[in-house]
Amino acid sequence: MTGRKMLQKTMIASVVCLGLAACGSSSNSTEPTLPSPQPAPNVDYQEMLEVAVNSGVPGVIMAIESPEINFTGAAGVADIDTQAPMQTYHQMPTGSSGKKATALLVAMLHEEGMLDMDDLISTWLPTTILSRIENSESMTLRQLLNHTTGVWDYLDDGSSDEWFEAIIDDPTSVKTDIFALQFALDQPAYFAPGEAFYYSNTGYLLAGLILDEVLGEHHHTAMRERLFIGLGMNNTYYNGLEKDKGSIISGYAEFDDEIENTKFIYENIGVADAPLVSTVEDMSLLLRAIVSENSPLDSAITEHLLASDRLVQVNSETQYGLGIFYQNINGKDVYHHGGGDPGYITENYYVADSDLTLTVFFNCSGYEDCQAPAANFMNSVLETIFEDN
């Protein structure tokens, strides 16, 4: 098997998340001044980061913030070849954890009357697309965002091979929603809209195209003005389309018994199901803005994403809003959404009872030397959160 085909297969296998449910800026030329770490009593988070690196993870960044904890730390390297050390301000593609940004932008426009989430998607999308999506005549924008349309996921078996082959064959051109959507067209539906939950990245591609239609331009401009600038996410940008705002760190996956850098592929993908390049602090800021009691956002907006009467059942333990999972763990309300791209893993949590955000970046995925220590690290950190805070 050729190296390119091996990388394609490895990329498919490495789209994973370590979290509790499936996942799936301004210029970086100046280094921000960060607060000194203040770990929780009797917990050495920096040592835990070092253990993860010593166990096989190339690099890891973590931020934990609550009334009792203020810790930001990093360990390992941002690039294996240059041995550049991982820094807390480094930016990384955050995969599906960025879905909350797409959903939030839609909710904002809904409240402004620019669109209605409960309208059928045929309100905005052309028949050239609708005619190639089963049940498109009866699915709404809200259902796209809460994964209840039954629309085929372009990253599922049966189409993911073609998607990964396409982006590997042409890594330098920017891939947007309409490019990714072609791999979901003419595929069967999982079920009729509203009948069940099935996590489908395609729903967010369609939502991105709807945003473009409503705004009259690509939605990354509105996302920057309303979210990144509006919320103070100064080190976040839309992947692929705002590369002048920063640069992603290297990410590593294994193929043909070799560790390879996937940065050259993922720096040019700009899709609404995984839109953000960000820092751990900015991702914590975004999640906190949506779910905390002290949110700067209007409650009418955030309720679309997480109000209890709008959550849909994923399984016996998990519910989903718009771009956010909800679980009650050890009696604590937990909101989260991770992200996994080949070479990158993001974990992003908010524990309401202790007003705590946790965000972790790993610059690897999909092979045992990364996956096992990353999972062990997350388990250890989550234990400190649920047992000690």
% helix / strand / coil in the chain, to the nearest 5? 40, 20, 45
pTM here is 0.91
Question: Would you state the structure tokens that stand for residue 258, as one six-digit string?
Answer: 């070799």
Which CATH number goes with the domain that contains 156? Answer: 3.40.710.10
E-strand ranges in the chain read 59-65, 70-79, 84-85, 92-93, 237-238, 252-255, 258-261, 276-278, 312-313, 318-320, 325-329, 332-336, 339-341, 344-351, 356-362
Q: Which pLDDT score, from 0 to 100, does residue 19 have?
A: 53
Helical segments of 272-360, H only: 280-291, 299-306
Instruction: Tell me the longest C-alpha to C-alpha distance in the chain.
Output: 60
Number of other residues whose CB lies within 10 A of the CB of residue 173: 10
Q: What is the mean pLDDT of the chain?
A: 90
Per-residue pLDDT tens for 27-69?
A: 333 333 334 444 455 789 999 999 999 999 999 999 999 999 9
How far apart CA 209 and CA 93 sit, in angstroms, is 21
pLDDT at position 368: 93
pLDDT tens for 261-282 read 999 999 999 999 999 999 999 9
- What is the C-alpha to C-alpha distance for residues 89 and 28, in angstroms, rounded to an integer? 9
Q: Considering the chain, what percentage of its residues have pLDDT values greater than 90?
A: 85
Predicted confidence (pLDDT) at residue 229 exceeds the cutoff of 80: yes
Domain around 137: 3-388
Average pLDDT score over residue span 176-196? 98
> What is the per-residue pLDDT for 30?
35
pLDDT tens figures, 330-388: 889 999 999 999 999 999 999 999 999 999 999 999 899 999 999 999 999 999 988 74
Q: Count other C-beta atoms under 10 Å from residue 130's C-beta.
A: 17
Residue 97's pLDDT is what? 98
Percent of the chain with pLDDT over 70: 89
CA distances from 258 to 6, 60, 92, 372 (A): 10, 20, 22, 17
When divided into structural domains, the chain yields a total of 1
